[in-house]
A and B are shown apart, each in its own frame.
Chain A
Amino acid sequence: MIKDHKFLDAKASFCLDIAKKLGATDASVTIGHGVSETVNFRNKKLDESNRSDDLAFSIDTYIGKKKSSISSSNLLDDNLKNLIEKCFETTKNTPEDEFNSLPDKNLLAKDIKNLNLFDETHVKNEKKINYLKELEDTASEDKKIINTESSFTENKSNYLLANSDGFCGSFKKSSFSASCVTVAKDEKSMERDYEYSSKRFFSEIKDPKVLGKLASHQTIRKLGPDKIGSEKLSIIFDKRIAKNILNAFAGAISSSAIARGTSFLKDKINKQVFSDGINIVDKPDIIKGLGSRNFDAEGVKSETLNLVEQGILKNYLIDTYNGKKLNLKSNGRAGGTTNLYLENGKVNFEKLLKSNSKSIYVTETIGHGSNLVTGDYSVGATGFLVEDGEFKYPVSEITIAGNFKDMFKNIFLANDLDFEYSTNSPTMMIEGMTVAGK
């Protein structure tokens, strides 16, 4: 059972009281509890079961402009008291920083909307096992599939944030996730691919048969890849990869990167950063949304932000500390984006595939090749050669490279946006990237 609001609230008040008695001028506390149950299958047999029960506590204590933090998983009153005393001592010895403070009171979230993020359904282990059986039976129908691994996780959590300015907000969340990884083999090669589904409500996750079929199909079609020559080509990013490009953009407009001067998008506010038709939105109040929230990690209300309008950068992602450094108000993005997405393009998927006589459709990238200081991008990739809109053959052991500054201005989007993740993009094409192969 998930600890209720009353339990979390009592712990938080206890902590704030101690901090106040010690002499902290301000304090902010979080208390969380999460229970998670996972069942793993491998080759149609039970492989692992996992249950976790996690308590978490953290506090920031302030003495004027001095601040330090402590966190722990042990919520016994004795331990909390000891740790807060230690935290207070450390704060005394930490130098002042003029930008340290709790968020402005008038920015704190007041009306807490019901975003419908919690499904009470408890999926018993037996039901999880049945789901995975059905999934793996479908996934392994084709003889080329030699290994299947799948997993079902149910997560429930409750989280409360309170500060000495009187803010106290909490939210309960659930998530149900199923995933399947399959390995396929032929004479020449062995390949792996996957599919997964994650939702706030159990009733909405993908049918096990559909999930299994997708995983198996996506793996088998990768068999027998070729390496191709090095040349400039347009790259079409599958939706599951396109979202990573959007996340890199979000990293580059975080107020911390901007304030520190370590982003290639510094000083680009109100300037053309993407091609004309591109709109990027961060929308926190999608009902049942995977990234939905009423307030950010500091209690500041999160409202819909148009980050990019018609290619022009309109907003950074701002928290209190870095906002003060930049002389800007927090827009409720401490802890990052919420439901971030690129709006649909004008053409359908088939048209996008056909827009160049030759392109690479990328289904997976590996490596950490995004440099947000310079904008340089270079990653390993696997996918398919596409000619005149048709998938010709799988390609692997290639890299794709470019610079985000140019890549963003050469983005074309399909009109197939859906909300499978917390960050979502339609299928994305970027022209003029360098492919390195043979």
Chain B
Amino acid sequence: MLMSNFFDKSDLVRKDAENIVSDTLKNCDDGELYLEDSKSESIVLDDNKIKSSNYSSDLGFGFRAVSEEVVAYSYSNEISKESLKNSAENLQSTLKSIKGTYKSEIPKSNKKFYNDINPIEQKTLNSKLEVLNKVNDYLRKKDRAVKQVTANFLGEHKSIEIIRSGGEAITDIRPLIRFNVSVMLEKNGRKETGVYGIGGRQSYDDYLKNDNWKSVCEEAFRIASVNLESKPAPAGEMKVVLGPGWPAILIHEAIGHGLEGDFNRKKTSAFHNLMGQKVASEGVTIVDDGTIDNRRGSLTIDDEGTPTERTVLIENGILKNFMQDRLNARLMNTRSTGSGRRENYRHVVLPRMRNTMMLSGNQTQDEMIKSVDKGIFAVSFGGGQVDITSGKFVFNCTEAYEIVNGKIGSPIKGATLIGDGPSILKEVSMVGNDMKMDPGIGTCGKAGQGVPVGVAQPSILIDKMTVGGTKL
């Protein structure tokens, strides 16, 4: 059985839980009981051996009561009558004066963006171990410069149920997997690593068919080989061409976080007073979409039960929408965009991104590179980070090249790029026709909570960014 029955082995019967929820939330603006049962596994090959094989099972509830701007939250990993009552008392003691009037129903939808599967059980341990060992042999036989190989499977099966005041129950089953390969090469005393991974909300074998693990190995190996030849990166302001796909984490950091409802309600985002204004060059359209089949950032419903949607954030350069959960939507007089997410039952809901995408334009990557006299071409990134308030954001190149006189030159060492969120999109002078999704590996962190996300973009040319290399 894939959907968990949370009341199965508990002294808490569903009717009692519904009554406690209804009583506690009676006069509140909002709130819910969120129940979660998650199973996860991590199998790691490292240094020629299966280094670890871990399985984890986590069960618990989070009980939330919202009144005006105040959120009271209590969670426990013991599903029992006593612990739910304790939580209810804790919520009531916090919300002393309750004046709730919010009556926004959760919209209904029958659409599903992934199947009810348990990816962990769909592939045997032995066949997972076999793939990991093949990866190791394949890479080590490929080249003597290969000195270290790490490969791992991460699988998760999460079953959630949301019980609202009045007894309404909403459920979802969320599979998620990742397969990663990291390889270190050593040549002439230099060491460099290359990392590549794939994943999403299907079974392992959907991603690994036709020996697809080989192409993951090849890509990790290729990145490490390029970096072995890399020269120190330049330092200073210059033109930057970003490749399609994963480099869209620039959009995620520079723009995405600043368009989350909470920062704008609190007026701490550099974008809070720019709604309806031009924040990007013409031709730049950015959406946040939770509805793409089987993508890592997709969700059938968000963690408040609202069906997800495709939210247009920026259309042809104009700021159109923020991403909202129910709390921030209510306080900003708008509706939830199905963006309310939490890492797990231990955490409160926050407005978060799902799959954040810049849509294709008309130009080609070739045209962009030809137009640059001095600059860099960034193909892949490690992580990024943003300071919401000042708008400054960074990300780290893991594969990048110099551009000299319209031609791609030598690879350059990993460098941090820094820019200013509200102005960076005005510096976009060309938008490519080659939009691509990332391979399904992103995790976004906010307020100590990590959630799976996706990004996509075409190649773009940014006229001015600061490159943090060492070569002056």
- Give chain A's interface residues, CB within 8 Å of chain B: 42, 45-55, 68-74, 76, 78-79, 83, 86-87, 90, 93-95, 97, 125, 146-147, 149, 183, 189-192, 225, 227, 230-232, 259-262, 264, 325, 364, 366-369, 371, 373-374, 376, 378-380, 382, 396-403, 434-438
Contacts and interface: CB of A to CB of B under 8 A. Distances in A.
Contacts of A93: 125-126, 129
B219 interface: no
Contact of A50 (B52, B74, B266): B74
Given A90-B53, A94-B50, A397 B387 contact: no
A398 B416 CA distance: 10
Contacts of B306: none
Contacts of A232: 472
Contacts of A71: 54-57
A79 B470 CA distance: 55
B266 A42 contact: yes
Nearest to B47: A260
Contact of B74 (A46, A52, A76): A52
B389 A192 contact: yes
Contact of B390 (A74, A189, A379): A189
A262 B414 contact: no
A9 B213 CA distance: 45
Interface in B1-17: 9
A73 B60 contact: yes
Contacts of B69: 42, 45, 47
Contacts of B126: 93
A366 B392 contact: yes
Given A71-B54, A73-B59, A367-B385, A51 B87 contact: yes
Contact of B416 (A55, A97, A231, A367): A367
A190 B270 contact: yes
Contact of A259 (B47, B384, B389): B47
B469 A434 contact: yes
Given A53-B76, A97-B50, A436 B467 contact: yes
B321 interface: no
Nearest to A437: B466
Contact of A373 (B70, B192, B270, B390): B192
B153 interface: no
B470 A434 contact: yes
Contacts of A83: 55, 57
Given A225-B390, A434-B469, 5 more contacts: A48-B71, A97-B49, A364-B387, A374-B191, A374-B414
Contacts, number: 245
Contacts of B413: 374, 376
Nearest to B417: A399
A397 B424 CA distance: 12
Given A55-B78, A90-B53, A95-B49, A125 B389 contact: no
Contacts of B83: 53
B47 to A, nearest CB: 5
A292 B240 CA distance: 47
B57 A438 contact: no
B93 interface: yes
Interface of B: 9, 46-47, 49-60, 69-78, 83, 87, 90, 93-94, 125-126, 129, 147-148, 184, 186, 190-193, 233, 235-237, 266-268, 270, 346, 348, 382-390, 392-396, 413-420, 466-472
A322 B393 CA distance: 37
A90 B125 CA distance: 8
Contact of A261 (B53, B184, B420): B184
* Closest A-B pairs by Cβ, 5 of them: A399-B468, A436-B235, A380-B394, A367-B394, A192-B389
B418 A192 contact: no
Nearest to A192: B389
Contacts of A78: 9
Contacts of A373: 184, 191-193
A61 to B, nearest CB: 11
A97 B472 contact: no
A436 B466 contact: yes
10 contacts: A68-B52, A69-B55, A73-B58, A83-B55, A93-B129, A146-B267, A230-B235, A378-B469, A398-B468, A434-B235
A147 B53 contact: no
Given A48-B348, A366-B394, A436-B466, A72 B53 contact: no
Contact of B387 (A86, A192, A400): A192
A79 B94 CA distance: 33
A191 B9 contact: no
Given A69-B52, A74-B77, A262-B191, A47 B60 contact: no
A74 B77 CA distance: 7
Nearest to A230: B236
A100 to B, nearest CB: 9
